[in-house]
A and B are shown apart, each in its own frame.
Chain A
Amino acid sequence: GIQVEQSPPDLILQEGANSTLRCNFSDSVNNLQWFHQNPWGQLINLFYIPSGTKQNGRLSATTVATERYSLLYISSSQTTDSGVYFCAVARFFSSGSARQLTFGSGTQLTVLP
Chain B
Amino acid sequence: DVKVTQSSRYLVKRTGEKVFLECVQDMDHENMFWYRQDPGLGLRLIYFSYDVKMKEKGDIPEGYSVSREKKERFSLILESASTNQTSMYLCASSLSAWEGRAVTDTQYFGPGTRLTVL
Chain A contact residues, CB within 8 Å of chain B:
30-31, 33, 35, 40-45, 48, 50, 86, 88, 90, 92, 96-98, 100-101, 103-106
Contacts and interface: CB of A to CB of B under 8 A. Distances in A.
B49 to A, nearest CB: 10
Contact of A92 (B37, B92, B103, B107): B103
B31 A98 contact: yes
Contacts, number: 66
A103 B105 contact: no
Given A92-B105, A96-B96, A101-B107, A106 B112 contact: no
Interface stretch (B19-27, B40-48, B64-72, B74-82): B40-48
Contacts of A35: 109
B110 to A, nearest CB: 8
Given A98-B50, A104-B42, 11 more contacts: A31-B106, A41-B114, A45-B107, A45-B109, A50-B102, A88-B107, A92-B105, A97-B31, A100-B58, A101-B45, A105-B42
